[in-house]
Amino acid sequence: MKNPYKNMTHKKILTGSAIVLAATASVFAQQNAFMQAGTAQPPLPPAPPKVMSAATTATPSASASTNAVEELFGVKIPDAVAKGKVNVNVRLRYEQVDQSSLPNQSFAPTIRTRVGYTTAPLYGFQGMVEGVNVSDLGPESNYNAAGSNHQGTRPIVADPPLTELNQAWVGYSYTNMLKAKVGQQVIDLDNQRFIGDVGWRQNQQTFDAATIGVSPLKDLNLYYGYVWDVHRVFGDVNGLPAKNDNFDSSSHLINVDYSGWKYGRFVGYSYLLDLSNEAGNNNSCATYGGYFAGQAPITDKVSADYRAEYAYQTDYGKSTLNYSADYYNFEAGLNVKPVAFGGGYEVLGSGSNSGTGPARTGFQTPLATLHAFNGWDDVFLATPANGLQDLYGYFQVTLPEQIPLRFVYHKYNADYGSGDYGQEYDVVVSKKFGKYWNALVKYACYNGQDAPAAYTVNKFWAQVEFNF
């Protein structure tokens, strides 16, 4: 332990020495001035200032420290809280599902209310907290709420009633070079094909994680995240089947993004997912890949967009599987305002499994925003064991009053073997009203052929959303 008396003695000596030196310098300066002016004898110097004690000299420093603390807690923190931002999102939705393999339909009128608050920055730090409530507006028995309400004769609508914490994090940022967060947060990487918040469902998927993004050079972004829990869209509600439980995790997310080219960007990634719940550990997988995507003008009114992606996947962590599988996606489109059209070919491969379980395993995407891929009927949320080939095309036109209307067609086949997995037609129309409102009507029709999807599905949605 340091000796406090020794420090006080040093303070006395330093303070006294400084005063003596100042007084001596003053006397010699005055004497020199009088000699140059021809004055025989300078006047007597003023009395030296009173030497202050160590306790007295410590007072200004202590006072300054006290003032800094008072300013932090009495001014700056309250100011950061007062200048913070409240966010409110309310989404009213009606969803209807008819699945030929089940005797009853699902009718699900629900409302999602999400309210949050984010502080203003203080020395680069910010905090955020947000809660969510999902309520059904009719009898819950009218739909299968992800299995939690025991309505097994009806199709699943994965929006069970719940009230939960949605986000709670502390973040730090330094200009555009560094951004970090710790706590429950939303993570959306790239097009969310592998990591996303599943924003289509009423309850978001969020992550208990520590994340950091660094931009050491212009156009280069490096991202790393460690995830220890995954809060899935089904929520933490009673009665869920084990497969829909939240994930315990020990996962690593690595993403490198370079956008220095004029007409595109390259992204490389490694997603090492070690996931487990009551259903087991076989959602764990390691995915390594990359893509190049961009847009290029052809004329003043015409532009082309494109994407080429490849990934390789193996079992990982505590998985009892032993497999490898490939993923690739090629997409191209033309934009001729007010029309856009294009198509793509996406393959989630299949690999032989020498571990426990089935003989083959399909390429897995357990943390993806799945609704955005392979059709809006959500038939292929889990990749079939023989993999999936999805050949798709789209056509979009912007109607008067800035109303986009989009059609999408999918043709599905097995990647291994000759299975015909059917086809799907999707259509959506939406409209923004003012600054905070938008409305949407959406329809999807799937016609299945061979197993594992030998049935038809028709889904209809109508929703209004307020976002502030």
> Bigger pLDDT: 46 or 326?
326
CA distances from 295 to 192, 328, 446 (A): 19, 19, 31
Q: What is the per-residue pLDDT across 370-424, written as a single tens digit (0 to 9) for each?
A: 999 999 999 999 999 999 999 999 999 999 999 999 999 999 999 999 899 999 9
CA atoms of 141 and 275, how far apart (whole Å): 31
Answer yes or no: is pLDDT of 37 > 50. no
The whole-angstrom distance between residue 436's C-alpha and the CA centroid of its chain comes to: 22
Peptide bond into 366 cis (omega under 30): no
pLDDT of residue 72: 85
Q: For 261-307, how does the pLDDT look when each residue is reduced to its tens digit (9 = 90+)?
A: 999 999 999 999 999 999 999 999 999 999 999 999 999 999 999 99
pLDDT 10s digits, 202-234: 999 999 999 999 999 999 999 999 999 999 999
Q: What is the pLDDT confidence band of residue 51, given thresholds at 50, 70 and 90?
A: very low
Residue 60, pLDDT > 80, answer no
pLDDT of residue 59: 52
pLDDT at 69: 87
pLDDT-derived band at 314 (thresholds 50, 70, 90) equals very high
| 24 against 50, higher pLDDT | 50
The letter for the amino acid at 74 is: G
Average pLDDT, the chain: 88
In this prediction, residue 61 carries a pLDDT of: 63
Q: How confident is the model at residue 2 (pLDDT cuts 50, 70, 90)?
A: very low
- In this structure, the dihedral spanned by the alpha carbons of residues 443, 447, 452 and 457, taken in order and rounded to 10 degrees, is 40
Q: Which of 467, 425, 416 is nearest to 445 (CA)?
A: 425
pLDDT in tens, 91-130: 999 999 999 999 999 999 999 999 999 999 999 999 999 9
Q: Above 70 in pLDDT, residue 316? A: yes
| 140 band by pLDDT with thresholds 50, 70 and 90 | confident
Reported pTM? 0.85
Q: How many angstroms separate the Cα of 36 from the Cα of each of 22, 24, 102, 259?
A: 22, 19, 112, 72
CA distances for 364 relative to 266, 353, 368, angstroms: 23, 13, 9
Residue 36's φ and ψ, nearest 5 degrees, are -65, -30
State residue 454's pLDDT score: 84
Beta-bridge partners for 432: 438
Q: In this prediction, what percent of the chain has a pLDDT beyond 90?
A: 78
- The confidence score (pLDDT) of residue 23 equals 37
Q: What Å distances lie between residue 170 and 8, 123, 128, CA to CA?
A: 41, 13, 6
Who wins on pLDDT, 253 or 38? Answer: 253
Q: How is 189-250 classified by DSSP, letter by letter? A: -TTSSSS---TTSSS--EEEEEEEEEEEETTEEEEEEEEEEEE-TT-S-TT--GGGSPEEEE
Find where tokens 């005063």 sit.
Answer: 19
The DSSP code for 176 is T
pLDDT at 180 over 70: yes
Model pLDDT for residues 4-14, shown as the tens digit of each residue: 433 433 333 33
Dihedral pair phi/psi, residue 195, rounded to 5°: -135, 120
183: which residues sit within 8 A by CB, 6+ positions away? Answer: 167, 168, 169, 170, 208, 209
CA dist 156 and 101 (Å) reads 12
Q: How many CB atoms lie within 10 A of CB 299?
A: 7
Which of 415, 420, 345 is closest to 385 using CA atoms? 415
* Diameter of the chain measured on Cα atoms: 120
